[in-house]
Amino acid sequence: MSETGKPISRIDGSMKVSGKALYSAEFNQPNMAYVFPVRATIAKGKIAAIDDTVAKKEPGVLAVISHLNAQKLKPMDMQAQMKAGAAFLGENLPPLQSNVVHYPGQFIAMVVAETYEQARTAAYKVKVRYTKEKAAVDLKAEIPNSKRPKMFMGEEAQVNEGKAAPLLAASAQKVDHKYSTPVEHHHPMEPHATVAVWDGKDRLTLYDATQGVGLTGAIAAYFLDLKPENVRVVAPFVGGGFGSKGLWLHTLIVAMAAKAVGRPAKLALTRQMMQTNVGHRAATVQRVALATDTNGKLSVMRHHTDTYNNLTQFFEPSGKQSLVLYKAPLREVTYNVAQLNRSTPTFMRAPGESPGTFALESAMDEMAFKMKIDPIEFRIRNHTTKDPMQGHDFSSEYLLDCYRIGAERFGWSARSIEPRQKRQGRYLVGYGMATATYPGGRSAASVKVVMDAKGKVTVSTASIDIGTGTYTVLAQTVADALGIPVDTIEVRIGDSSLPAAPLAGGSQTTASIHPAAVEACVLLRRDLAALAIADPDSRLSGQRLEEIDFAKGKLFVKSDDKKNDSYLNILSRSKRTELEACATTLPVSGAGLTVPSALCTPRETPAEQNSDIKQYAFHSFGAQFAEVWVDEDFGTIRVKRFTSVQDVGRIMNEKTARSQVIGGVIMGIGAALMEATDYDQRWGNPVTRTLADYHVPVHLDVPPIDVHFIGKNDPHISPIGARGIGEIGITGVSAAIANAVFNATGKRLRDLPLTPEKFYEV
């Protein structure tokens, strides 16, 4: 019976519930020093002077390091970095190399001391004098100075610019509104942390809270000018990431500190630093215009985004879903990107789609209401089975099923199109829905499988489990691919010295590493079969390779299963202590989020597996349904129940998959109702500095969440049939909630989050 898909409990569960799972900051070292950074208190300017005389005299202080005395790092060079797989630095600012301040909170110095308490106290006593310059801190004010970037991550950024206006002008039915989303922070529960241990001058080990050990190693090696193979990054457990755990400057800072004092060093960021030093989702102001013919068929869609960035080419791509959803003859997607003296924005769970679906799916709801069509019916009328831009078929697409099943499970038919029709005590009750979507991607990956003479199998790859279930589902896949029980398999991940895997981002770990794992198992079985065939003592002696099948730890002849031999016996007779196979899969789309140099050399390259982007468009889809109760007197909104139906290809483990979707929905509830980082408009500093100010959902905010998977294999993404699942859960959630609030109250709220004061403003 297949292990894949079974809702087995996490194999790392007992370690996590007993406090034995070790996270980066917990790899304490003998003689370890502690690092505490000093952060800039201005938005723009230059450091005129640093006075560390008091700090240096503090007990336990080993060093105060700033641009004045820091180790010189290799400078930025995008071409060279790309070649080294080191282009993916969180912010393009090698730390402590100059006196220029780009944003409030920038790391400008650090104290290294014997203890955490001493380092922190001394850091407070480092005095910095600045020469201030006029800073750009307000998005609205900077939009006139913004740029229209040509490219985003290798794709055209501006699509059909200017072409929508004539069609919109000629259209009878249209909606055209502004939607805005605030700065959001990832705030994984585990703060970013690094322990750096040098072995001589040339070898470095980093225990680092990262979503990608390979990329972190490559970037650290580049800037510290080390051989990539001499930097080892270890992260067996990572306490969440959501996009924030790439390589940020603290990782380099700790390595520099450890080198400077000649001792292992540790830095765990404070929650306050996580507001300024490890990325965020940039605020957006989006304008969405839709027009339809009299039958409710979309004739044109226009989605424009105003946003910003700083020290990165990345910007929030909130028009992405508007290039994928719905059948419309013309769609225009454009961006203005300003530059602010604000910490660097980055990828955050469903970058683009999370704020983008809020705008598009709110607009769809507005249009449906305007035409008095049920919002699901409106979407069905405009459904597309092809990628609207390229014209390719979707590799596998069941969105209409998502709508239908979701509507049934949720009880959508009880909803009235007119708002304010349903009350429960003091509350106005409303239903809302939205479409979810996220691309299905794949990167290159290598997986090594080793079987020892006792039959124990070890599967290793430099992947990461940030809570996603990588450990567990990889064991399930290998169990099936070798026909052995899950509990005889040991999974090794979270170590850059293992064969390469993509960073845990972009919802592609499963789609990337599992084909390689299966391929490695195929190679291993083939080697076992070859041993048996060549062994006169085997019942498989002299059989043809292609006649041999496997099950329950044995190889057997397809036509006669009495002719069989167990893995254990084959190995033991061969006198080998172990058998090893490493396979690499490289999608035609390229290495993607994987450092190519760390891929293991395959003994033979497996044929590419259907991931042909020239034939198919790879996307996941879903439908989100929310019931909200609104207390109009206070403007307080509670989500009372939620249904999420997802078409994400094959489900590898029903239990962990469901958890990921629930998690996405909850982060979406946060985005809808409470999450926002506010900045002071005068100085550009965040005034929401901690988890007391930046509200994320707590237990009481979260209702029962009903998750349903379509569960149909995607036959084209890989032989495994699974697309990623980490991000789609958040998409569409804030729109479903805002649409439900409209259905409850008749108030259309277009500015997230929907905190009480927003009610009083409308």
Partner 1 sequence: MQENAKFPDLSDAERKALEELMPDEINEIISSGIKRRHFLKLFAVTGTALLASHMLGIEQLMARSAELSTPPPLPIENGINLSFKVNGATKKLMVDSRMTLLDMLRERLELTGSKKGCDHGQCGACTVIVDDKRVLSCLTLAATCEDKKVTTIEGLATGNELHPMQSSFIKHDGFQCGYCTPGQICSAVALMEEAKNGEASYVTANVREKKAAVKLSDEEIRERMSGNICRCGAYPNIVDAIREVHGDKAVAQLWQFAEGTN
Partner 2 sequence: MRAFKYTNAPDSASAIRTVSANPAAKFLGGGTNLVDLMKEDVMHPTELMDVTRLSYTKIEKKNDGVSIGATATNSTTANHELIRKNYPLLSMAILAGASAQIRNMATNGGNLNQRTRCSYFYDVNMACNKREPGSGCAALNGVNKNHAILGWSEKCVATYPSDMAVALAALDAVVQVEGPNNSSRSIPFAEFHRLPADHPEKDNNLKQGELITAIDLPANQLAEKSYYLKIRERSSYAFALVSVAAALVTEGGRISEVRIALGGVAHKPWRATVAEKWLTGKEATTANFKAAAAAEMKNAKPLQHNKYKVGLALNAITRALEGAMQGGAYGTMEAESTSKN
Catalytic residues: 727
The H-or-E segment that residue 81 falls in is helix 78-83
Query: Residue 95 or residue 697: which is nearer to partner 1 going by CB?
Result: 697
Identified binder of partner 2 from the candidate list 410, 567, 621, 742, rule CB under 8 A:
410
Which positions from 21 through 60 interact with partner 1, judged by CB under 8 A?
A: 21-23, 25-30, 59-60
Residue 261, binding choice from partner 1, partner 2, none, Cβ under 5 to 8 Å by partner class: none
Q: 427: Cβ–Cβ under 8 A, 6 or more apart, which residues?
A: 629, 630, 631, 744
507 vs 32, 125, 312, 422, 661, CA distance in Å?
Answer: 36, 43, 22, 38, 12
The torsion angle over the Cα atoms of residues 93, 94, 95 and 100, rounded to 10 degrees, is -50
Burial of 56 (0-12, 13-18, 19+ CB in 10 A): middle
Query: Residue 115 or residue 424: which is nearer to partner 1 going by CB?
Result: 115
Query: Residue 355 or residue 703: which is nearer to partner 2 going by CB?
Result: 703
Angstrom distance (rounded) from CA 347 to CA 701: 25
Query: Residue 565 or residue 714: which is nearer to partner 1 going by CB?
Result: 714
CB of 698 vs partner 1, minimal distance in Å: 4
Burial of 247 (0-12, 13-18, 19+ CB in 10 A): buried
Which positions from 105 through 124 interact with partner 2, judged by CB under 8 A?
A: 117, 120-121, 124
Angstrom distance (rounded) from CA 356 to CA 318: 4
What mask, x for binding partner 1 by CB under 8 A, covers residues 403 to 442? Answer: ----------------------------------------
What mask, x for binding partner 1 by CB under 8 A, covers residues 100 to 129? Answer: --------------xxxx---x--------
Which positions from 122 through 141 interact with partner 2, judged by CB under 8 A?
A: 124
Q: Tell me how long the chain is.
A: 762
Q: 297: Cβ–Cβ under 8 A, 6 or more apart, which residues?
A: 327, 381, 382
Contact status: 662 vs partner 1 (CB under 8 A): yes
Contact status: 719 vs partner 1 (CB under 8 A): no
Identified binder of partner 2 from the candidate list 46, 695, 712, 748, rule CB under 8 A:
695
Identified binder of partner 1 from the candidate list 351, 515, 606, 664, rule CB under 8 A:
664
- CB–CB of 299/171 below 8 Å? yes
Signed CA dihedral, 318, 321, 324, 326: sign only: negative
Angstrom distance (rounded) from CA 762 to CA 748: 8
Q: 558: Cβ–Cβ under 8 A, 6 or more apart, which residues?
A: 547, 548, 549
Contact status: 614 vs partner 2 (CB under 8 A): no
Query: Residue 164 or residue 661: which is nearer to partner 1 going by CB?
Result: 661
155 vs 26, 128, 282, 455, CA distance in Å?
Answer: 41, 42, 20, 48
At 71 the three-state DSSP class reads coil
- DSSP secondary structure code for residue 751 in this structure: B
Which positions from 235 through 254 interact with partner 1, judged by CB under 8 A?
A: 236-240, 242
Residue 19, binding choice from partner 2, partner 1, none, Cβ under 5 to 8 Å by partner class: partner 1
CB of 288 vs partner 1, minimal distance in Å: 28
Residue 29, binding choice from partner 2, partner 1, none, Cβ under 5 to 8 Å by partner class: partner 1
Angstrom distance (rounded) from CA 225 to CA 607: 36
CB of 510 vs partner 1, minimal distance in Å: 14
Which positions from 628 through 687 interact with partner 2, judged by CB under 8 A?
A: 629, 633-636, 638, 640-641, 673-674, 678-682, 685, 687
Binding site for partner 2 (CB under 8 A): 41, 59, 117, 120-121, 124, 409-411, 424-427, 429, 627, 629, 633-636, 638, 640-641, 673-674, 678-682, 685, 687-690, 692-693, 695, 697-701, 703-704, 706, 755-757, 759-761
